[in-house]
Amino acid sequence: MSEEEFAAIAFKVCITVFVIFLGFIIWNLGKESKAGKFGTAILFLVLGLGIAGFLFKNVLIKLMM
């Protein structure tokens, strides 16, 4: 396995773990603030758009190259 292959696999694994961890943080924030179901959904929507933007940027860069 070359360094490039290892870096690509490690990046995918680390980003996946990071996104799952961010989901837990958003869920915990909604629970601790007593936001209710609607408030938690809004938190996931708004904060999740930042994560989606990051992932979409990476997809666009791969498609353009």
Domain spans of the chain, in order of start = 3-64
60: pLDDT strictly greater than 90: yes
The pLDDT mean for the chain works out to 90
CA distance 25 to 21: 6
DSSP conformation class of 34: T
**Interacting residues of 51 by C-beta distance below 8 A, sequence separation 6+:** 19, 22
The residue with tokens 């999740």 is 48
pLDDT band at 52 (very low <50, low <70, confident <90, very high): confident
Rg (CA), the chain: 15
Residue 30: exposure state from Cβ atoms within 10 A (0-12, 13-18, ≥19): buried
